[in-house]
Amino acid sequence: MSTVTLTLENAIAVITVNNPPINATSHAVRSGIVDALDQIDANDDIRAAILICDGKTFIAGADVSEFGQPPKAPILPDVIKRIEAATKPVITAIHGHALGGGLEVALGCHYRIADSTAKLGLPEVNLGLIPGAGGTVRLPRLIPVSEAISMITSGKPVSATKANEIGLLDAITHGALGDAARDFAKTILNRETPASLLARNPIDAPSSAQWDDITAATKKKARGQVAPLAAISAIRNGIEHGADAGLAFERKKFIELRDSDQSKALRHIFFAERSVAKLSELKGVEANPIREVGVIGGGIMGAGIATASLLAGFDVTIIERDETACDNGRATVEKHLSGSLKRGLITQDRFDALMASLSASIDYAALSDADLVVEAVFEDMAVKHDVFGKLSLHCKADAVLASNTSYLDINEIAARCVNPRRVIGLHFFSPAHIMKLLEVVRTDKADTKSLATAFEFARALGKIAVPCGVCDGFIGNRIMSAYRKHCEYMLEDGALPHQIDAAMAEFGFPMGLFAMQDMAGLEISWATRKRLAPFRDPSERYVALGDYLCEMGRFGKKNGLGWYRYDEHGKAHADPEVDALVIAESAKKGIIRRDFTSTEIMDVILGAMRSEGDKILAEGIANSADAIDVVMVNGYGFPRHKGGPMFMTGNED
Ligand code: NAI
């Protein structure tokens, strides 16, 4: 079947796009649509046309294989203008996703109808771009300007229901889309064709003062990203200087952004996220089917993992130490799900069904049918051995047994199991039902079937699964430990905690390292340091400032004092007492303090990340530099628009 087909049904022409998997706006699609329109215009029997897509979705974006190639005519903006200029009204019928160029094509049509499950959006800002085919000019001429701004600057798609409410759609259908489009076409045959969007005026153009507010609010949210602000200027330009000037301005900005470092970085991370879990050795390996999931430990992580597993459609059994702990685990899952219910993410019926799929027990026999088990008990090797011993005894022979350990050696955990081939690591991030990142840790003996099952599980949970090998801290925590050490050195050498945090925030992290430590609580890592003290290399530089804080009872945000002092609203303030402690420590060690600029601070941090990343690569812990970037961006707040530490530092030389 060709990419674009034209069929005639009495007075109605149907243009069908068939370009799997996402009906991207490839050259064949663009030229096919133009050819079809030429035929439609030339045929006097045709009174209306329907533009519809085959397969899973409407046009959901551009053809990535054409990225970086010289544009081949007809380019998308011209195709859309051609649709607009059609002498017969064009109705587009949307199912699945109408994204980016797909929605821009729909905006060129005279009418838009959609299946009730469709989603419509302009996600270009996620790639550091703005819509480049008229989206910033046409959308605010169809829906309220505030809604257009929100869709374009957030990049988030809207549901068909919302799209219908704001006027983006002319109708939604719960039935067969093709039939609905044909029925709709019949209703407009005798109506006057609506003016193209370019010929209309926005209904509610903001005032100059309102634009200032919109720009300021967008700037705040964008945290250093330029595309959302460029989108605002394009929307404003299109409104204030007319459609033609707006289109020219949008195209200029689009091209500028396409060649920018931010867009390159965002595209890098976008593709890295999509390729990181594709392992050649797992090609053709069939995963075990998963229906029942066991979670050992219903604490912070266990309850989060149980929630994520329920939401993915699995039956979940939590195993805890006693009945009270079982109740606590269940209550935490219930709290998470209630949150989803309150935010309208799940219905009451779904909530009830999910809670009914959850059980908690103290008896491992309840796991006899589990297909995959995740252990999230205390971070203690003896406890983990005990748990995996019981799992070996009670679980099916092919059940995959995973540990969520942060730092312990999973090879050692596996070694004591009856079948180490099915033991792997699944390192979630907190809160586990929200954070997208999942490190899938391959133990030395793990077989491909268990790994394939783990990746399938990760996919079902909607996680970004990054494969990694066994080492202290895997990819993310290991890099964090490395740069934390260098931040501590900087404290003794002359920087203050709030200066390091300010440099990180300015760079684009949501918060600095010391504020983050305060939030997590300082006492856990203090306990770990005390436990590991006898094994410490005495020749390695050791910074004791974190220990001093704990000895002073400063455990972080929860008790109002940590690296910062917290006011009654929980706001952090630099504390002169901490500064004095830091300065006194330098003096005690005979270090002459020197000033660090923000750039110097970030150079140290990025250098530490890079050099640990290189070691991780050399040891084969990460498969690629991309994997490291994906971990740091999705689990550690590294600003997405900088692409990750490996991408960024690799680009510097
Ligand atoms: P937690 O202390 O909140 O929960 C541990 C739970 O395990 C408790 O509810 C406890 O009753 C239960 N438990 C202990 N021994 C048990 C046993 N023998 N059988 C059944 N249940 C048992 O700890 P959290 O924070 O959930 O950590 C769990 C694991 O996840 C640790 O290995 C930790 O290193 C790891 N982890 C923690 C992260 C975090 O941010 N908290 C992030 C990633 C991994």
In short, whether 319's Cβ falls inside 6 Å of ligand 1 is: yes
In short, whether 542's Cβ falls inside 6 Å of ligand 1 is: no
Told to judge if 492 belongs to the known catalytic residues of this protein, a careful annotator would answer no
Nearest atom of ligand 1 to the alpha carbon of 304: 26
* Closest among 109, 100, 199 to 151, alpha carbons compared: 100
pLDDT at 1: 66
Domain boundaries defined on the chain = 4-259, 287-468, 476-620
Q: What is 77-95 written as a DSSP string?
A: HHHHHHHHT-SS-EEEEE-
pLDDT at 531: 84
- pTM for the complete prediction? 0.91
Distance 298 CA to ligand 1 centre (A): 7
Nearest atom of ligand 1 to the alpha carbon of 301: 26
pLDDT at 652: 45
Joined together, the tokens standing for residue 563 give: 């690296």
Distance 208 CA to ligand 1 centre (A): 54
Which residue is associated with the tokens 């029997």? 45
For 40-72, write each residue's pLDDT tens digit.
999 999 999 999 999 999 999 988 788 778 889
pLDDT at 622: 97
Measured between alpha carbons, how far is residue 545 from residues 128, 421, 533, 582 in Å?
Answer: 40, 43, 15, 7
pLDDT at 162: 97
pLDDT beneath 50: ranges in the chain = 651-653
DSSP-derived secondary structure letter, 115: E
Nearest atom of ligand 1 to the alpha carbon of 428: 43
Told to judge if 577 belongs to the known catalytic residues of this protein, a careful annotator would answer no
Catalytic option among 9, 66, 84, 104? 104
Topology of the domain covering 4-259: 2-enoyl-CoA Hydratase; Chain A, domain 1 (3.90.226)
Cα–Cα distance between 435 and 429 in angstroms, integer?
Answer: 6
Instruction: Judge: domain 476-620, CATH 3.90.1150.10.
Output: no
Catalytic option among 9, 66, 124, 240? 124
The letter for the amino acid at 478 is R
Distance 521 CA to ligand 1 centre (A): 16
Distance 405 CA to ligand 1 centre (A): 8
pLDDT at 439: 98
In terms of CATH, what superfamily is 287-468? Answer: NAD(P)-binding Rossmann-like Domain (3.40.50.720)
Which residue is associated with the tokens 């959609």? 114
Nearest atom of ligand 1 to the alpha carbon of 386: 18
In short, whether 298's Cβ falls inside 6 Å of ligand 1 is: yes
**What angle in degrees, to the nearest 10, is found between the helix axes of 497-507 and 598-618?**
70
pLDDT at 64: 78
